[in-house]
């Protein structure tokens, strides 16, 4: 029997790729993985200086973290992304598929453009980036892929049809990939953050009625902070989760329990 110890959560010698790492949840994930010992490739569409500063403490020398600029609205940058991380570190041991977008409108009025934009980032690019990274993991027989799902992987929500569809797809795809890639030594799991203070939820927090309705249902009594979710990412990226496959883990302040 393996003795449980804090060493099981140590990520020294590992390289992680985190998408959407410039702000919010992705930034918290990148910093937490670095604090656990991993080298982190931080991917995003915009400036990554703040994330690099938080990881490197002002020493942006490329040893602990690098920034990769790419837009996952298409598949075009995927081969380049993987090549850049492999050239920097020689391996990708952990992939966190965090990048995501949201569009809000009544289902009766929802446009094809908004549907396609959300599905392309949240589901299509997630799959094909996972595929490309998994191809580098298979020869070594080990790897951790962590998808960021949502409470909308379990529920319907309102006015976000493509987001709900994409996050339901993420939960299903996580199970499929776990079934296919588990025998190859790759753990594929997902996390479903609850109501977290990020750019994606700003509209909800600024709506007094929606904000009150949400807070009234959360047993924890408050919105979550990105750092509240980061520990789950470190767990699923670590040896402590070696026998965990295909789950979607809610980190939601108790929302789904009510």
**For residue 3, pLDDT beyond 70:** no
**For residue 231, pLDDT beyond 80:** yes
Q: Is residue 169 part of a domain?
A: yes
Residue 109: how many other CB atoms lie within 10 Å: 8
pLDDT at residue number 18: 98
Q: Is residue 257 part of a domain?
A: no
Reported as a single tens digit per residue, the pLDDT across 57-72 is 756 668 899 999 999 9
Q: Is residue 209 part of a domain?
A: no
Q: Is residue 143 part of a domain?
A: yes
When pLDDT is cut at 50, 70 and 90, the band that residue 199 belongs to is confident
- Residues 27-54 have a mean pLDDT of 96
**For residue 2, pLDDT beyond 90:** no
Q: Is residue 258 part of a domain?
A: no
How far apart, in whole angstroms, are the C-alpha atoms of residue 82 and residue 6? 30
Q: Kindly report which listed range (2-11, 12-21, 116-125, 202-211) carries the lowest average pLDDT score.
A: 2-11
Catalytic residue at 195? no
Whether residue 103 contacts residue 200, with contact meaning beta carbons closer than 8 Å, is answered with no
Please report, for residues 1, 30, 48, 96, the alpha-carbon distance to residue 172 in angstroms, rounded to integers and kept in the order given: 32, 25, 31, 17
Higher pLDDT, 124 or 62: 124
Catalytic residue among 39, 95, 163, 251: 163
**For residue 117, pLDDT beyond 50:** yes
Residue 61: how many other CB atoms lie within 10 Å: 9
CA 69 to chain centre: 17
pLDDT at residue number 58: 58
Q: Which residues contact 30 (CB under 8 A, 6 or more apart)?
A: 16, 18, 21, 40, 42, 51, 55, 65
When pLDDT is cut at 50, 70 and 90, the band that residue 1 belongs to is very low
**For residue 156, pLDDT beyond 70:** yes
Q: What is the CATH number of the domain that holds 232?
A: 3.40.50.720
**For residue 200, pLDDT beyond 90:** no
Q: Is residue 215 part of a domain?
A: no
Whether residue 188 contacts residue 245, with contact meaning beta carbons closer than 8 Å, is answered with yes
Query: Which domain, by its residues, includes 29?
Result: 12-198+226-252
Closest CA to 236 of 124, 94, 112, 116: 94
**For residue 114, pLDDT beyond 90:** yes
- Residues 24-48 have a mean pLDDT of 97
- Residues 187-198 have a mean pLDDT of 97
CA triple 65-66-71, angle to 5 deg: 130
Q: What angle in degrees, to the nearest 10, is found between the helix axes of 24-35 and 49-56?
A: 20
**For residue 248, pLDDT beyond 80:** yes
When pLDDT is cut at 50, 70 and 90, the band that residue 6 belongs to is low
pLDDT at residue number 60: 63
Total tally of structural domains belonging to the chain: 1
Whether residue 27 contacts residue 104, with contact meaning beta carbons closer than 8 Å, is answered with no
- Whole-number mean pLDDT of the chain? 95
**For residue 94, pLDDT beyond 70:** yes
């Amino acid at each position: 029997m393996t003795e449980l110890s804090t060493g099981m959560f140590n990520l020294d010698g590992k390289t992680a790729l985190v998408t959407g790492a410039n702000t919010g949840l992705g930034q918290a994930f990148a910093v937490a993985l670095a604090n656990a010992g991993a080298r982190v490739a931080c991917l995003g569409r915009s400036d990554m200086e703040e994330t690099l500063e938080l990881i490197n403490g002002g020493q942006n020398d490329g040893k602990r973290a690098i920034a990769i600029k790419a837009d996952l609205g298409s598949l075009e940058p995927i081969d380049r992304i993987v090549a850049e991380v492999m050239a920097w570190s020689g391996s990708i041991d952990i992939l966190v598929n965090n990048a995501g977008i949201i569009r809000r409108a009544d289902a009766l009025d929802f446009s094809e453009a908004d549907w396609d934009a959300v599905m392309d980032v949240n589901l299509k690019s997630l799959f094909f980036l996972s595929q490309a990274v998994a191809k580098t993991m298979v020869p070594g027989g080990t790897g951790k892929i962590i998808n960021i799902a949502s409470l909308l992987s379990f529920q319907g929500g309102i006015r976000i049809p493509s987001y709900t569809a994409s996050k339901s797809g993420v939960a299903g795809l996580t199970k499929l990939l776990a079934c296919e890639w588990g025998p190859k030594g790759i753990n594929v799991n997902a996390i479903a953050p609850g109501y977290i203070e990020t750019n994606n939820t700003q509209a909800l927090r600024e709506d007094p009625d929606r904000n009150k309705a949400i807070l009234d249902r959360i047993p924890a009594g408050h919105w979550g902070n990105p750092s509240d979710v980061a520990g789950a990412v470190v767990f699923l990226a670590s040896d402590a989760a070696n026998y965990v496959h295909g789950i979607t883990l809610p980190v939601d302040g108790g929302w789904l329990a009510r």
